[in-house]
Amino acid sequence: MDLQWDDMKIFLAVARTESLSGAGRLLKVDPATVGRRIARLEEGLGTPLFAKSPQGYAMTDAGQRLISHAERAEAAMGSAVEELAGQAGALSGQIRIGAPDGCANFLLPQVCAAIVAENPDLEVQIVALPRVFNLSKREADMAIGVSPPAAGRLTVQKITDYKLHLAASRRYLRRNPSIKTLNDLKQHRIVGYIPDMIFDKELDYLTGIGVERVQLASNSVSVQFNWIRQGGGVGIVHDFAIPSAKGLVKILPSQISLTRSFYLIRHADDRRMDRLNRLALALAEGLRREVARLEAET
């Protein structure tokens, strides 16, 4: 059977969404049409590509073998379109970037706005989720992470280090006992992550300073930040976020100072796509500059 690019697009969409309806939405075609195309592809190849169940469509061993070829074909088609379109100048099209919500809220908006200002035909989507993104399912074209992934056909580039400190609002500090030592934290409301929803060990800030009880907890760093900003308690805050909150101050900075890193994570096959390479370069440079600028203000 001669495989056509349209067949590969259908196959990739079902593999990534694990459903006919999800693939249909992605491709803007009727799910029944997707089902017929998959059945025809499986018949032509003489093997099932998906195991169907009430939970969705899971790839079989044959599907797992096919997907790497399909992704290489996708990357090649993307490169061909770029070359024929002569995209050596301004960036265009749609790019989706996944990021933890601290980066997505306090850094990416201004960085991406500046990139789009220089590339008016570019559309940027920021997906802020408190979890690791699955690039294999194309949840995003590229992602920002706080630790390099250990598995998958991915490329990883360190972008920059960033600092975090214990902080509270001046209003909270005026109304509560002074904090001069780590032991004094026992008298204060602590803001932090929900312990069983910390999706990356690099986000486990409080264990290292001996905090055992978190009275105000959220899986979102932005919710935590707003609790602290509004006088709800004491917690770990990104230095790059502090300038956006009037009246927020660091506590015990000489005793509690954390350093973490941002990484740019991409699918390995995307290295051949000039458009994504140039966007990745602009994104990494913009994030480095913005972290340095905001941390200097603290």
- In what helix (H) or strand (E) does residue 234 lie, and over which residues does it extend? strand 234-238
Tell me, yes or no, whether 153 and 216 share the same domain. no
Tell me, yes or no, whether 24 and 57 share the same domain. yes
User: Environment class of residue 259 by beta-carbon count within 10 Å: exposed (0-12), middle (13-18) or buried (19+)?
Assistant: exposed
Beta-sheet pairing, 56-59 with 50-53: antiparallel
**128-132, 133-137, 227-231: segment of lowest average pLDDT:** 133-137
Q: What's residue 149's pLDDT?
A: 83
- Mean pLDDT within 232-259: 95
Report the CATH number at residue 206. 3.40.190.290
**CA gap 282, 265 in Å, rounded:** 14
- Cβ neighbour number for residue 65 with a 10 Å cutoff: 12
Q: How many residues make up the chain in this entry?
A: 298
Report the CATH number at residue 22. 1.10.10.10
Q: What's residue 133's pLDDT?
A: 57
Q: What's residue 202's pLDDT?
A: 83
Report the CATH number at residue 274. 3.40.190.10
**Which structural domain, as residue segments, surrounds residue 218?**
162-259
Tell me, yes or no, whether 173 and 241 share the same domain. yes
Tell me, yes or no, whether 232 and 244 share the same domain. yes
User: What's the mean pLDDT when you consider all of the chain?
Assistant: 87
Which residue reads 């991915």 in tokens? 154
Helix 20-27 to helix 31-45 angle (10° resolution) is 110
Give the residue from 36, 63, 85 where a domain finishes.
Answer: 85
Q: What's residue 242's pLDDT?
A: 96
CB 231 within 8 Å of CB 221: no
* pLDDT(266) > 70: yes
Give the residue from 32, 67, 85 where a domain finishes.
Answer: 85
Which residues, in sequence order, are CB contacts of 58 under 8 Å at separation 6+?
18, 50, 51
Share of the chain above pLDDT 70, in %: 91
Give the residue from 85, 116, 132 where a domain finishes.
Answer: 85
Token pair of 44, please? 């032509």
Tell me, yes or no, whether 64 and 98 share the same domain. no
**CA gap 127, 133 in Å, rounded:** 10
Tell me, yes or no, whether 206 and 244 share the same domain. yes
Tell me, yes or no, whether 247 and 269 share the same domain. no
Q: How many domains does the chain have?
A: 3
Q: Quick check: helix, strand or coil at residue 198? A: coil
Residue with the bigger pLDDT between 210 and 196: it is: 196
Tell me, yes or no, whether 125 and 273 share the same domain. yes
Tell me, yes or no, whether 203 and 285 share the same domain. no
Tell me, yes or no, whether 177 and 250 share the same domain. yes
Please name which of 149, 3, 143 lies closest in space to residue 70, comparing C-alpha atoms.
3
Beta strand spans in 100-153 (E) = 122-128, 142-145
Token pair of 20, please? 């006919």
Tell me, yes or no, whether 118 and 144 share the same domain. yes
Tell me, yes or no, whether 198 and 228 share the same domain. yes
* pLDDT(261) > 80: yes
* pLDDT(77) > 90: no
Q: What's residue 262's pLDDT?
A: 96
